[in-house]
Every structure is written in structure tokens, then in C-alpha cells.
Amino acid sequence: ADVITFRNGKTAEITNTDAEGRVVLADAIARACEDEPDWLIETSTLTGAASVALGNRTAGVMGSDILRGRVIAASERTGEAMWPMPLPPELRKGLDSSVADLINANMNRLGGMLVGGHFLSEFVTEGTEWAHIDIAGPAFNSGSAWGYNPKGGTGVPIRTLLTVIEDLISTAADA
């Protein structure tokens, strides 16, 4: 397997070339953290496991407790279904590598979305409020239109992201 070095100096053994999105996103997260943001929210169709766990209409949200909670609260106000997901420490062990800091994906099907979240968390600077929204399920609607979601690309999580940003600006203005 190949071993790559990321922007932040961490290395990953590439054990699954189909998990390429998280490899690209990891460098983007590392780069964003160089700017020392107060808040970091990113989103992707990270894992098919998100759809298995939550279906086609609900996104999974992982990250720091505070920002994850704010994203969930915003999603409830916008009508974009999202569910808070944990990052259990025991699942992080599934990313251990004998030749690098971590592997990009394990072949164990258990907790796939959470393992993907653990991978991304490795690139978030300690103390940064962070949330990842896995939109694998609701990003594309192959069935009939429902709610404000048309058939095809739904635009999830744009409404939630805008609401979270408005909330963060409002909170900063009140401080």
C-alpha cells in the first residue's frame, strides 16, 4: 500500500482507494486549521455507511460537542434532518497502521461513518470547534420530491450552514 504525507505532517497508509474523498478533505481541514478558526464546519458525502445508518433523508453530524449541537439545532429550525453521531474512542483503534500514523479506511464494516469521522478528526487542531456533516444520504434524492427537496440534487445542507453562520455571527455580535 502507498503511504502519503499530509500538509500537517501526519502520514496515512492508503488501504482503500475508494475512500479518496476523506484524503483530500483531510488536507483541506489541516489547511483551514492553519488559520486558527474559531469554528470549522465542513461537509461531504463521506461514507455510504451514513445512508445505511440513517437512511436517505438524514445527515450525520460528528465533531466537537458544542459545534455539533449548534449544527443540530440549526438543522431542526431549517427542516434539514440531521442526527448527532458520537466518535467512540474504541473505533479510533481501527485506523491504526504499522507503517504510518493511520490508515485511510478500515475494512471492518462496523461503525463506518464514525471511523470516517475519526479519520477527519486527526487533522483538526486541538481545541478547534469542529463539525463534519456527512450528507451521503440526503445529498441526492432519487425518489419523488418531498418537503422542499426536489428529485435530484437537494442542496442539503445549505440551509443549515447558513443558519449556523447567522447564529455564530449573532453570538459574536452579542459578546
* Contact predicate 25/105, CB 8 Å: no
Helix or strand run (H / E) with residue 102 = strand 102-103
Domain ranges in the chain? 3-174
In a 3-state reduction of DSSP, which class is residue 115? helix
The H-assigned helical ranges of the chain are 20-33, 48-54, 65-78, 89-92, 112-121, 158-174
* Contact predicate 138/57, CB 8 Å: yes
Which pLDDT tens digit goes with each residue over 37-51?
Answer: 999 999 999 999 999
Instruction: Give the other-Cβ count within 10 Å of 143's Cβ.
Output: 9
Report d(CA 152, CA 30) in Å as an integer.
Answer: 32
Report d(CA 143, CA 6) in Å as an integer.
Answer: 39
* Contact predicate 80/159, CB 8 Å: yes
Kindly report the pTM of this predicted structure: 0.95
Q: What is the pLDDT along the chain (175 residues), one digit of tens a residue?
A: 899 999 999 999 999 999 999 999 999 999 999 999 999 999 999 999 999 999 999 999 999 999 999 999 999 999 999 999 999 999 999 999 999 999 999 988 889 999 999 999 999 999 999 999 999 999 999 999 988 889 999 999 999 999 999 999 999 888 7
Q: Quote the longest CA-to-CA distance of the chain.
A: 51
CATH code given to domain 3-174: 3.40.630.10
